[in-house]
Every structure is written in structure tokens, then in C-alpha cells.
Structure 1
Amino acid sequence: MSTLPDKLVIAISSRALFNLNDSHRVFEEQGLYAFSRYQVERENDILDKGDAFPLVEKFLKINKLLGGEPRVEVILLSRNSADTGLRIFNSIEHYGLDITRAAFCNGESPYRYIGPFGCDLFLSTDGLDVRRALEQGVAAATLVAGGGHEQQEDVLRFAFDGDAVIFSDEAEQVYKRDGLAAFTEVERASAQKPLGGGPFKGFLEALQKLQAEFEPDACPIRTALVTARSAPAHERVIRTLRAWDIRVDESVFLGGLPKGAFLRAFGADVFFDDQLDHCASAAEHVATGHVPHGIANIES
């Protein structure tokens, strides 16, 4: 059970929120002691924004729009110690981010605190931590470095792939095993049968509940399904969302076209996909999170 009831909670690693490439390089090349000294000596130097910073900034603005009790929260999860993490909190204060809760784990993985904090989404640059979060049933993604640009408008735009992200990977298994023709035939025959839920189903449901607190023409959150599917495989997706009573604002069925330009047109603040090649392409246009779930991520 969430320790932060009635809130939508995002957990984020310090390296996703801020650009810590220099200090991480010191850690990898010179070890923990040199890293600690590096951070302490620079604790008053403000960190540059990381890939997830714009997303977090927009997310926290939702509380100001709603007024009253805060409805969203960001939790910082870090492998830093509290001592070396002082630089991170100094940077949080500098940028005016309303982040007050954190776990500093002094080199250990912080994923074990995701459950106690009741997190709905975990964003990190550490793939192993993300996999462990997914195993706990939490929507999670590894941020992929790329050339994504900050979106300037205030609306927070989430884009999702379908299979193995919002939905289970059952259809993708057919595609991987038997090819496109078999996939299309199975999806046509199963159009009336809802797909199983994927790791981001619960997060999408939570987003929709938050959206419902705003008038439709004044909602600061917008969602999109951006999938490689095309007709006739689109029907099962539409009927699945209907059966779940989940609405997405926009649906784009690409029939295998590259997703990057479409995500850019949507203005996505972040896009979630299970396939690394799709993520690498999308990251050239928008911030992208790899979801290491399903058959596409089974290590051979």
C-alpha cells in the first residue's frame, strides 16, 4: 500500500534529473573516495539539467494548477550518500523544484525504496535498477541518451508504445516467433479479446485519474499511443483500451514507419518503448525511456 495515498508519485534517480556525467566518470575511473571528494568540493556548484528535468518541472507545476493538497510528488532515489548528495539538493533548491523526499544509498541500489514510497513510475539511467523495479510491478524505464530537445509549452505530454509497454507482449511473441502475416491473422481473429496489461497500464490509469480533475480544455496532461501496428491489428488495441475504460488523447498507428518524427510532432516530453532500436531512433527527437520488458528484452 502506498505511504503517499491519493498522490501520483514519480521516483527519479539523481543522474536522470541532473547531468552527473563528470562525477560519475570520476567514480568509475578513480573510485568512491575520489568521487566523494569531487562532490563535496563542488557542493555549491549548480548541476546542469538532466534528460528528465523538463518532465519533472512540468509534472510538479500540476500542484500549483490544482491548488489545495498536492496531488503529485517526485521522490529522489540516489546511489550518492547524504553527504555527497548535498550538491544535488543544493541544485534542486536553486531550480525551485518542490522535491523534499529522498533516499541516499551510499553506493547501493535505491530500487528497494520504490515500494515503500508507493511510486507509480521510476526513471533511472541504471538498467539493472529499472529491471528490478519492473519485477516489483512498478512502471519503470531507463532513460536513453540522445539529442532530444526540451518542449517549451506547459502541457505535459506522455507517449507510449503499445505491446510490452501498455499491453502485455503476447502479440509481440507471435510476431517474433511466426512473423508479420501470422501476427496480423492472430490479431484479426482476436479483435474482440482484450490484451493483457503491460507494465505501464497502471501508470496510464493513474494519469487518467489525474486528468479527470481538470476541465477537458484546460488539462495540463496529454497522452498518446504511438505504435508500429496498422490496420487490421489496430482494432484489438482500441477494444482493449475500451474494455479497460482507459482513454488516450491521441493514437498513431504507423505500420512500421519510424516513430521519431511523429513523436516530435506530438511534442512528447517522454516516450516509452520496449525495443532498444526504436528508443535510439526516438531519442534523436524526444526524451526516451527504454522499458526492458517482454520478449524483445529476453537475453539469449
Structure 2
Amino acid sequence: MVSTIQNSDVKQKDADRAVVVAVTSRAVFESGGDDGDDVSGEGVAFPLLQALQKVNERLLKENPAESLLFDVVLITTDSQQQQQSSRIISSTRHYGLEVSRFCFSSEEDFIESLLKNNVQLFLTTDGNEARRASQEGVLSALLDQQMAFCPSEQLRVMICGDAVVRPDAGLMSRQAAQSFSAQLGEMRQRFGMSDSPLSFVLVTSRGGRESCGEALLTLRSRGVSVDEAYCLAGAPRGPILSLLRPHFLLSDGGDGGLEE
């Protein structure tokens, strides 16, 4: 069973234009704590929500009528956190996080909550959840502890150039990735080359400069211009990840993660 609570403290986004991002509450807030506590501690995805919110704030500053905005949905499948739903909602209010809806479901039904909310990107710390969502055509990314050190003032999205050049995902996952990246590309165009709250980093792990160039041309054909590009030519991805600190890895393969 899926239960959805709309956040009355937040102005709801335009359903036809908003980019819906769902994040698991266990990634945003730490589990546990005393039952008397009204506020949970910050989780690994906390800087991500702040960065998404910063993009929205800048978009609305540029154009108060802007409708292409991030629409954040908090998904809770953890049984312990479901029993503390009021704490999750009050924690969101306490930190001033712009969450539009709270969805509570079982592990078996969380896919239903993603589909009902037209989620375009699902972010979780659970690899099994990421794979299941990807199999249903929902673009997913796996989050890890590195995210706790990501900047909150700028949303940094890493794009896997190898997946762009040689996609190996199913048709639904590939279309979901292309659609989402095109929407982010449109957002990025709202800002100048410097002082942007949204940044794209392209990384190709395999091949040489030709593969990187091909990926750049493919992304540009989708309306996506990258801020930085790196051709690793077979070198491990870990060092560049620790240096660039992206919030998540976007690939046509679905359950992308930050780990090497």
C-alpha cells in the first residue's frame, strides 16, 4: 500500500514541466534516535537536496514565472522510519528543505510510488532498489558516503560518456536517461558560463579523445553542453570522482553509482 502526503508548506510545481526527483528518506536523514526527538540528523543526500533547492531558487530569481523546476519527492520504505513519519516531516520543515510530497510504502510497493508520481530520477543508497527501479524504466542512481562531502551551493552531475557512445541499457532506460539529460540541459541554458548553480561533467573511462568527442557531440545534439570533460583512457575513475565530487552519476545504464 502506498500513502502520499502533500507538503502544504511548499508551493506545488507545474506537473507538466517540473523535473521530478525522488530520494529515499534514509539517504536524506539518519535513522534511529530517541522517540522524543523531533528532528533527525543529516544523511548523505542532504547536500543534494540543498543543491537542488539552490537551482530552483536561482531559476526563480532569473524568472519568477519559471516552471522548469526540480520537484522533490521523499520516498520512505524503511519500516522504522515509517513509524516515525511525523519526525521525517518535521525534520524537513526544520531544515527548510523544499520537499513537495512524502510517500510511504513497503519495499514491495515502492515502484508504484515512483510511477504514480511520474518520477524521472530515483536516488537511493540501496543497490537492489536502484536496479528494480531501472528495470521498470525509471532512471536511477546509487548514492554513497562520498555525497556527504559534495557541495551544497552547486548541483554537480557527472555524465558517463561511455554509456552515451555505447548504450547497453534497454530502450525504456535509455529513453529515460536521454529525456532527463535534455531537461537538465535546458535548465543549464538558463545560466551563464560562470557562477551557475548547475554543472555538468563528462567522463569517458574507455577509448581515447575520439570517444570523448563523440560523446560531446551526442550530448550537444540533445541540448546538453558540459562544463568540464575528462578522457580517462582506461584509468580508474575513483581519483577523479574524489576530486570532482559529483552528486550523482548519470548514465544510460540506469543504476549508476559513484563508486568505481
Question: Match of 2:246, SS?
Answer: coil
1:234 aligns with 2:205: no
1:79 aligns with 2:77: yes
1:11 aligns with 2:22: yes
Question: Match of 2:143, SS?
Answer: strand
TM-score (norm 1): 0.67
Question: Match of 2:216, SS?
Answer: helix
Ranked by relative contact order (alpha carbons within 8 Å, sequence separation 6 or more), the top structure is 2
Instruction: List, as ranges, runs of 4+ consecutive aligned residues in structure 1 with deviation greater than 4 Å.
Output: 80-83, 196-199, 272-276
1:207 aligns with 2:184: yes
2:240 is matched with which residue? 262
2:90 is matched with which residue? 90
Matches within 5 A, 1:212-231: 212-229=189-206, 230-231=208-209
Matches within 5 A, 1:140-159: 140-144=140-144, 146-152=145-151, 154-159=153-158
| Unaligned residue ranges in structure 1 (runs of 5+) | 24-38, 171-195, 282-300
Structure 1 residues 228, 199: closer, same or farther in 2, change over 3 A? farther
Residue range with higher mean Cα deviation, 105-114 or 45-54: 105-114
8 A contact 1:123–1:140 mirrored in 2: yes
Report how far residue 89 of structure 1 moved: 1.2
8 A contact 1:164–1:198 mirrored in 2: no
Structure 1 residues 86, 166: closer, same or farther in 2, change over 3 A? farther
Report how far residue 101 of structure 1 moved: 0.5
1:249 is matched with which residue? 227
Aligned residue identity for 2:259: A
2:131 is matched with which residue? 131
1:101 is matched with which residue? 101
RMSD: 3.2
Q: Deviation per CA, 1:4-40: give whole Å up to 9, x if none.
A: 22111110111111122xx4xxxxxxxxxxxxxxx7x
Mapped partners of 1:153, 1:88: distance in 2 = 20
Q: Deviation per CA, 1:196-237: give whole Å up to 9, x if none.
A: 947532221111111122233342100011121223433432
Mapped partners of 1:205, 1:271: distance in 2 = 15
Report how far residue 62 of structure 1 moved: 2.1
Aligned residue identity for 1:10: V
Question: Match of 1:129, SS?
Answer: helix
1:44 is matched with which residue? 37
Aligned residue identity for 2:128: L
Mapped partners of 1:148, 1:84: distance in 2 = 24
Structure 1 residues 252, 169: closer, same or farther in 2, change over 3 A? same
Mapped partners of 2:15, 2:210: distance in 1 = 42
Q: Deviation per CA, 1:145-193: give whole Å up to 9, x if none.
A: x4555234622111122234785128xxxxxxxxxxxxxxxxxxxxxxx
2:6 is matched with which residue? none
2:5 is matched with which residue? none
Mapped partners of 1:218, 1:250: distance in 2 = 14
8 A contact 1:79–1:104 mirrored in 2: yes
Structure 1 residues 43, 62: closer, same or farther in 2, change over 3 A? farther
Q: Percent same amino acid at aligned positions?
A: 29
Report how far residue 109 of structure 1 moved: 3.5
Aligned residue identity for 1:208: G
Residue range with higher mean Cα deviation, 262-271 or 51-60: 262-271
TM-score (norm 2): 0.76
Matches within 5 A, 1:171-182: none
Question: Match of 1:77, SS?
Answer: strand
Say which one has the larger Rg.
1
Structure 1 residues 256, 8: closer, same or farther in 2, change over 3 A? same
8 A contact 1:122–1:138 mirrored in 2: yes
Matches within 5 A, 1:180-199: 197=174
